[in-house]
Amino acid sequence: MKRLHLLAHAKLNLVLRVVGRREDGYHLLQSLFCAVDLADEIELEAIPRGIELEASPELGPPEGNLAYRAAQALLGEDEPGVRIVLRKRIPVGAGLGGGSSDAAAVLAGLNELFSLGLSGDELSKVSARLGADVPFFLGPSPAWVEGVGDRIAPVAVPLPAAFLVLVPPFGCPTPEVYRRYDDLGIPPSRPGPVPAVPPFANDLWPATVALRPELREFRRRLEALPSPGVGMTGSGSALFAAFPSREEAAAAREALLLPPGARAFVAAPVGAGYKFAG
């Protein structure tokens, strides 16, 4: 049977502006997305029919997993079929985009595995039905993402060489953060061009820290490091600090006093949301 091995990269939102809200309740954003080399591993194997997903039970039922749903969206439930082996490395519920990245990698992988011949635009249309962040992971990084994730433009901006990513022992559910953002009555930001980074501005920070006040202490620990800037990705809970080199980020990780249950990773920017690994 044919097999493919892929890496599904995490992302950081280096900038996130909330610039409005549609009548249907969806918030309109501008965000600088950056893929990094922290990655889930995905193996795709052709089988006669159906979709099988091998993953940690902690991720819940296969049918609810975005990797499974991506295969379902592209292949249906009949012939050909695929077995997906998903090895999670990206923390769940931290704003790092792991589920969306998995979905994009599965779409790209299935297109290759079965020689479907779908164009990038065709894959993007399928991916948009799976989630707002999924289309980004099919293209180059970094990218300026606008609207509800439907307008994506690759950009050439100077990026830090490495990041120290701090993941607290709790997640921040995105719908709850946006509800808190609305409850706080925060006025939307004015749309603007792609800004230089740092600083790493995120309009959701007040809402996220209102939901989980303990994030202030996590951020304080990163801000005590010799970094040119600290930010939060997505709606949290993961925070990051920028560094001029991977070595300096690794040294900062050694110096960081991690609270119980928290994790820290060194990650560097990569040029795409997924990678064929053999």
- The per-residue b/e assignment along 234-255, b for 16 or more CB within 10 angstroms, e otherwise, is bbbbbbbbbbeebebbebbbee
The tokens of 185 are what?
A: 């009555």
From the number of C-beta atoms within 10 Å of its C-beta (0-12, 13-18, 19+), residue 13 rates as: buried
Catalytic-residue membership of 88: no
186 Cβ contact list (under 8 Å, min separation 6):
18, 203, 206, 207
Alpha carbon distance 260, 130 (integer Å): 34
Instruction: Write down the catalytic residue from 11, 102, 203, 275.
Output: 11
Instruction: Write down the catalytic residue from 37, 78, 125, 133.
Output: 133
Containing 3, the helix (H) or strand (E) segment is strand 3-21
For the chain, the C-alpha Rg in angstroms (whole number) is 19
E strands within 132-262? 143-147, 151-154, 162-167, 230-232, 239-243
Catalytic-residue membership of 11: yes
Active site residues: 11, 133
